[in-house]
């Protein structure tokens, strides 16, 4: 079995927070392989790059660059599921059904459906609207 980290689970996992430590323990106990999606990688990396750019060059950027480095290292260690043709077709089908869910979340859902994967997310309210998607929250 394998699980896919949504952006909120990925962030906790990557930065070793209290919740991230609990998540890693549960992953070890369940003996699951851990993946993320290219969409989650895009969201996480874009966020840290934006933070780097908001600070004045030099010392003011140290913390942001450290977070960016941690994010890059974590992404490189995890398997990354693609937003490929199958996921894109599922995305368009879901989008036509007019689900009230954000575009990036809909892409993540489509990737997970295409791979019959269990998505780990705190955002159960939105993701539980997606037919055929298995989703759980392992942080709280």
What mean pLDDT, rounded, does the chain reach?
95
Domain residue ranges of the chain, discontinuous segments joined by +: 2-136
| Model pTM score | 0.92
121 Rama class: left (phi>0) / alpha (psi -120 to 50) / beta = beta
The model's confidence at residue 1, banded by pLDDT at 50, 70 and 90, is: confident
Superfamily of domain 2-136: 5'-nuclease (3.40.50.1010)
89 Rama class: left (phi>0) / alpha (psi -120 to 50) / beta = alpha
Q: What is the pLDDT of residue 139?
A: 94
Q: What is the pLDDT of residue 52?
A: 86
CA 113 to CA 73: how far, in whole Å? 26
Mean pLDDT of 101-127: 97
Q: What is the pLDDT of residue 16?
A: 86
- Per-residue pLDDT of 10-20, as tens digits, reads 999 998 899 99
Q: Which of 123, 130, 107 is nearest to 11 (CA)?
A: 123
HSE (CB half, 13 Å, CA atoms) of 123?
20
- Per-residue pLDDT of 51-86, as tens digits, reads 889 999 999 999 999 999 999 999 999 999 999 999
């Amino acid at each position: 079995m394998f699980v896919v980290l949504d952006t909120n689970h990925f962030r906790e996992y990557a930065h070793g927070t209290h919740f991230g430590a609990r998540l890693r323990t549960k992953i070890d106990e369940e003996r699951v392989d851990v993946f993320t999606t290219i969409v989650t990688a895009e969201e996480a990396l874009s966020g840290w790059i934006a933070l780097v750019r908001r600070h004045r060059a030099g010392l003011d950027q140290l913390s942001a660059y450290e977070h960016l480095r941690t994010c890059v290292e974590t992404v490189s260690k995890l398997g990354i599921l693609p937003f490929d043709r199958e996921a894109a077709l599922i995305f368009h089908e879901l989008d036509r059904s007019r689900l009230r869910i954000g575009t990036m979340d809909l892409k993540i859902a489509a990737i997970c459906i295409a791979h019959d994967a269990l998505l780990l997310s705190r955002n159960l309210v939105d993701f539980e609207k997606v037919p055929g998607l298995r989703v759980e929250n392992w942080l709280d």
